[in-house]
């Protein structure tokens, strides 16, 4: 199976902003094992700005663009150094790819990206993708890694995109406000009605960046790729997700797989 896994900063770091060593180690171990089992895996990882803030010992996340971009430049090194170290333990070679929105719209650049990625997978390498935050301006940036991971998944014709987040998945209502809210395990089709429930401020599903995840689900499912939203707090859950076992997460089925 060809699988794209999106890792959010909340999975990699503690609330203090420091690296969550246990979680990140478990994640790299599980991904390595899934690769050893024959799956082709591509990571889309956030965390550059967060790690840069830690490394530069800034008191808080910067608000101005030059400091944010400087933090991303420092943090991206730290992020890749961490992945390189952990994946090397399991004999896997990582590669860094930094993209912006225009790498998907400019045909020649998109083709270069696809060709390089294809070659990296043939070489058995684990590509790790992030937005090129240091140069991305408002006009050209994708903006969030949920969307970036969906664009990557569609480009490489992945079978599955797994978004690891700090929520278990999509709920029938906002679980923080409604104790009767239940986790929706299977979703067939992301329509405007579902998107609008997640979009409005204070609405039932408008929590934890659900709107960008639902838009990612729409991009993927229309293009024939399933999407899973799962909590990144237990990386071993990836085994069950890849095996198609249900429980504790949400799976959006690709349009051609509706049954
Ligand atoms: N590219 C950003 C970073 O590495 C994260 C963007 C996102 O998480 O959506 O810090």
Average pLDDT value for residue range 43-69: 91
Contact call for residues 145 and 6 (beta carbons, < 8 A) = yes
| Percent of the chain whose predicted confidence (pLDDT) is above 70 | 95
Residue 212: CB within 6 Å of ligand 1?
no
pLDDT digits (tens, 9 = 90+) for 146-172: 999 999 999 999 999 999 998 899 998
Contact call for residues 156 and 223 (beta carbons, < 8 A) = no
Residue 129 has pLDDT above 70, yes or no: yes
Residue 142 has pLDDT above 70, yes or no: yes
Residue 130: CB within 6 Å of ligand 1?
yes
The pTM for the full model equals 0.93
Residue 98 has pLDDT above 60, yes or no: yes
Domain ranges (residues) in the chain: 2-253
Whole-number average pLDDT of the chain: 90
Rounded to whole angstroms, the Cα distance separating 61 from 97 reads 24
- The more confidently predicted of residues 92 and 142 is 92
Rounded to whole angstroms, the Cα distance separating 84 from 233 reads 21
Sheet (strand 160-165) strand order: 94-99, 126-131, 40-45, 2-7, 160-165, 226-231, 250-253, 186-188
Average pLDDT value for residue range 7-30: 91
Q: For residue 257, name the pLDDT band (cuts at 50, 70, 90).
A: low
pLDDT at position 102, please? Answer: 92
Residue 94 has pLDDT above 60, yes or no: yes
Nearest to 43 by CA among 253, 214, 232, 224: 232
Q: Which atom of ligand 1 is nearest to the CA of 76?
A: 4
Q: Which atom of ligand 1 is nearest to the CA of 51?
A: 10
Residue 237 has pLDDT above 50, yes or no: yes
Cβ-based neighbour number of residue 83 at 10 Å:
24
Residue 10: CB within 6 Å of ligand 1?
no
Which of 7, 48, 143 has most ligand 1 atoms within 8 Å of CB, for mutation? 48
Residue 13 has pLDDT above 60, yes or no: yes
Please state which CATH number belongs to domain 2-253: 3.40.1160.10
Mean pLDDT lowest for which of 31-35, 193-197, 244-248?
193-197
pLDDT digits (tens, 9 = 90+) for 195-220: 877 754 444 433 447 889 999 999 99
Average pLDDT value for residue range 172-196: 86
Average pLDDT value for residue range 2-30: 92
Nearest to 146 by CA among 83, 209, 99: 209
Q: For residue 255, name the pLDDT band (cuts at 50, 70, 90).
A: confident
Q: For residue 249, name the pLDDT band (cuts at 50, 70, 90).
A: very high
Q: Which atom of ligand 1 is nearest to the CA of 50?
A: 10
Residue 47 has pLDDT above 70, yes or no: yes
């Amino acid at each position: 199976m060809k699988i794209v896994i999106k890792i959010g900063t909340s999975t990699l770091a503690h609330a203090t902003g420091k690296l969550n060593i246990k979680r990140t180690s478990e994640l790299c171990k599980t991904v390595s094992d899934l690769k050893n089992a024959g799956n082709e895996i591509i990571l889309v990882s956030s965390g550059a700005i967060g790690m840069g803030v830690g490394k530069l010992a800034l008191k808080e996340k910067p608000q101005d663009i030059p400091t944010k971009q400087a933090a991303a430049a420092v943090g991206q090194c730290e992020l890749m150094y961490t992945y390189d170290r952990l994946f090397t333990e399991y004999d896997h070679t990582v590669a860094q790819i930094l993209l912006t929105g225009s790498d998907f719209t400019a045909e020649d650049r998109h083709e270069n990206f696809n060709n390089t990625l294809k070659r990296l997978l043939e070489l058995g390498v684990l590509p790790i993708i992030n937005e090129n935050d240091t140069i991305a301006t408002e006009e050209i940036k994708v903006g969030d890694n949920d969307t970036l991971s969906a664009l990557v998944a569609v480009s490489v014709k992945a079978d599955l995109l797994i978004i690891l987040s700090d929520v278990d998945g999509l709920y029938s209502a906002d679980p923080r406000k409604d104790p009767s809210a239940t986790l929706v395990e299977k979703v067939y089709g992301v329509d405007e009605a579902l998107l609008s429930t997640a979009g409005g401020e204070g609405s039932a599903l408008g929590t934890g960046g659900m709107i960008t995840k639902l838009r990612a689900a729409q991009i993927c499912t229309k293009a024939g790729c399933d999407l899973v939203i799962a909590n990144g707090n237990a990386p071993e859950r990836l085994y069950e997700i890849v095996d198609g076992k249900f429980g504790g997460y949400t799976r959006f089925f690709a349009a051609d797989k509706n049954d």
